[in-house]
Amino acid sequence: MPADAAPDTTRDHRRRPHEVRMKKEDHAGIHYKATLMDRDQIRRAVKRIAHEIVERNGGVDGIVVVGIRRRGVPLAQRIAEYIEQNEGQPIPVGALDITLYRDDFQRITRHPHVGKTDIKEDITDKVIVLVDDVLFTGRTIRAALDELIDYGRPRKIQLAVLVDRGHREFPIKADYVGKNVPTSENELVDVQLAEIDGEDEVLLAEKQS
């Protein structure tokens, strides 16, 4: 992936828990510590990513936005909508389910849920903007790249994520980042989106021993 990820423009990477009004209760060994992004911050980040995609590619010709299920899909749809609003041209949107391409597929469960991959556009010689909610180890993105290649030979693949939390295990870097969040490996970044969860927010949580 190209190395020019957008700088984080939000003021505070890590707010102290007492500075944030938490909405979600602790459960199942998970302690919610802080709100990393609220609805307005998510909206501004997605809007900025949409603008940067157009700017970097010199327009919208040949761009196809593909979201990774689950929360990458509504993010991809939002990005495409912002681009259409600004450029007056509809952007094709696809959805990718990477379950069968995971390197731990045989271990995740005896009866894994396999969602639907829905890419109607011919991606050969197109600029694919792959979208996910959180970039962590890079294993999900690696699986998504493997699957995309089965659908055609894109001219270029770019990566957009709402949150980059570090701890990469593969040499993968996002081209567009909504927010960089330093985390420990024991912490979780929980992205909630209105289309799936009923509200927009990004929460920082921690696994309890």
Residues 6 or more apart in contact with residue 2 via CB below 8 angstroms: 158, 173, 175
Query: Candidates 3.40.50.2020, 1.10.3720.10, 2.60.40.10, 3.30.450.40; correct CATH number of 28-207?
Result: 3.40.50.2020
User: DSSP secondary-structure letter at 7?
Assistant: P
What is the number of other CB atoms lying within 10 angstroms of the CB of residue 112?
12
pLDDT tens figures, 172-202: 999 999 999 999 999 999 999 999 999 999 9
Which pLDDT belongs to residue 131?
A: 98
Model confidence at 205, pLDDT cuts 50, 70, 90, reads: very high
The structural domains of the chain, with segments of one domain joined by +, span 28-207
